[in-house]
Chain A
């Protein structure tokens, strides 16, 4: 799916969801080599699509204002989603690993041809309906462990609300 933001109209974001991907290591090395400009996420750690929208919005805003904290807009998406202060650690926490099978791909300002190439390259099943796909794949236990979410917070909101809060507050959580 493709979306953009009203105030940042000259940018667009593509999101793709794949299950049972067999060639994650090859995909990862393409990304790490810079041959492919995209963020590869462990889909089980993404509670819903809205968190990805927010992370993309923040990453693109930071590109516009020249205030990127990490190396690129795609690193920034991963970094924002990780809700930790250390960039390197953040990328490792939410990024797809070699063993990951369900992968969410976020590509900012990608050409249509790039998206088609990506689809051809990935050896896995693409999920058309990303929102419900993510619901099925989401691993609540891992998400709660990653973001350190306990029961009391879930009394006043959903899991993804708690994740959004962690992402938003990370930069101001220490005086």
Chain B
């Protein structure tokens, strides 16, 4: 289990400043890896606030896949394009030893004009080089897709993993899957 999570669960983490500091640093690392994330303007440790960019002209991948946005009609090509983008993005993240911590399709936005995938909500994010942590990160995404987008889950996951460069992590994921519900994060 990721260290920060267990501290929060145990209720021993009194200084919430550490959490926003962690979130801020993770966003910094993410951007330095070339992965879009909201631009931060200020970290206010006194009031425990992050001031950041409001990503305009975008929608959540979750909403696109659920067809809540009036799209031309979700073709298979669009679904595989999205999945490929997800796979490449998470791959790049993990290659940079950054764990998102809450990989769901609600935390992935598509910025329309730039046609970019933007990751948001790094509140549970941490640095780790362990295959285990990266596999667990993927497991969260897998569970999300299976429950929220069940009809196209196989297509999505297939394409995501096809674009994920991390053979050892995927092998580890096979083991994590077999373990069942023990490794779910908060939320």
Stretch at the interface among B27-35, B147-155, B157-165: B27-35
Write out the residue numbers on chain B whose beta carbons fall within 8 Å of the beta carbon of A171: 43, 45
Contact with B along A153-175 (1 / 0, CB 8 A): 10111000110110111011101
Partner of B28, one of A57, A67, A150, A165: A165
Which residue of chain B is the closest to A175 with respect to CB atoms? B21
Q: A54-B42, A164-B40 are in contact. Are A172 and B116 (CB under 8 A)?
A: no
Partner of B34, one of A54, A58, A67, A152: A152
Which residue of chain A is the closest to B29 with respect to CB atoms? A169
Q: Tell me which residues from 20 to 72 in chain B have a Cβ below 8 Å from any Cβ of chain A.
A: 20-21, 24-25, 27-28, 31-37, 39-46, 51, 53
Q: Check: A33 CB closer than 8 A to any chain B CB.
A: no
A20–B65 alpha-carbon span in the complex (Å): 55
Are A168 and B36 in contact, CB atoms less than 8 angstroms apart? no
Q: Check: A65 CB closer than 8 A to any chain B CB.
A: yes
Are B33 and A57 in contact, CB atoms less than 8 angstroms apart? no
Which residue of chain B is the closest to A155 with respect to CB atoms? B34
Are B40 and A168 in contact, CB atoms less than 8 angstroms apart? yes
The majority secondary structure among interface residues of chain B is mixed
Write out the residue numbers on chain A whose beta carbons fall within 8 Å of the beta carbon of B116: 156
Most chain A CB within a 10 A radius of its CB, from B21, B27, B39: B39
Are A161 and B25 in contact, CB atoms less than 8 angstroms apart? no
Q: Check: A61 CB closer than 8 A to any chain B CB.
A: yes
Are A168 and B41 in contact, CB atoms less than 8 angstroms apart? yes
Write out the residue numbers on chain B whose beta carbons fall within 8 Å of the beta carbon of A164: 39-41
Q: Tell me which residues from 43 to 77 in chain A have a Cβ below 8 Å from any Cβ of chain B.
A: 54, 57-58, 61, 65, 67
A156–B51 alpha-carbon span in the complex (Å): 19
A138–B183 alpha-carbon span in the complex (Å): 50
Which residue of chain A is the closest to B116 with respect to CB atoms? A156
Write out the residue numbers on chain A whose beta carbons fall within 8 Å of the beta carbon of B24: 168-169, 172
Are B40 and A173 in contact, CB atoms less than 8 angstroms apart? no
Write out the residue numbers on chain B whose beta carbons fall within 8 Å of the beta carbon of A167: 41-42
Write out the residue numbers on chain A whose beta carbons fall within 8 Å of the beta carbon of B43: 168-169, 171-172
A167–B51 alpha-carbon span in the complex (Å): 12
A67–B40 alpha-carbon span in the complex (Å): 20
Q: A152-B34, A157-B36, A161-B39 are in contact. Are A61 and B28 (CB under 8 A)?
A: no
Contacts from A to B (Cβ < 8 Å): 54, 57-58, 61, 65, 67, 150, 152-153, 155-157, 161-162, 164-165, 167-169, 171-173, 175
Contacts from B to A (Cβ < 8 Å): 20-21, 24-25, 27-28, 31-37, 39-46, 51, 53, 116
A-B contacts, 24 of them at CB < 8 A, read A54-B42, A54-B51, A57-B41, A58-B42, A61-B44, A67-B46, A152-B33, A153-B31, A153-B32, A153-B34, A155-B34, A156-B31, A156-B35, A156-B37, A164-B41, A165-B28, A165-B31, A168-B24, A168-B43, A168-B51, A169-B24, A169-B28, A172-B20, A173-B25
What 8 additional pairs, Cβ within 8 angstroms, besides A152-B34, A167-B41, A171-B43?
Answer: A54-B51, A153-B31, A164-B40, A168-B42, A168-B51, A169-B27, A169-B28, A172-B43
Report the 5 A-B pairs with minimum CB-CB distance, sorted nearest first: A168-B40, A152-B34, A172-B21, A156-B36, A155-B34
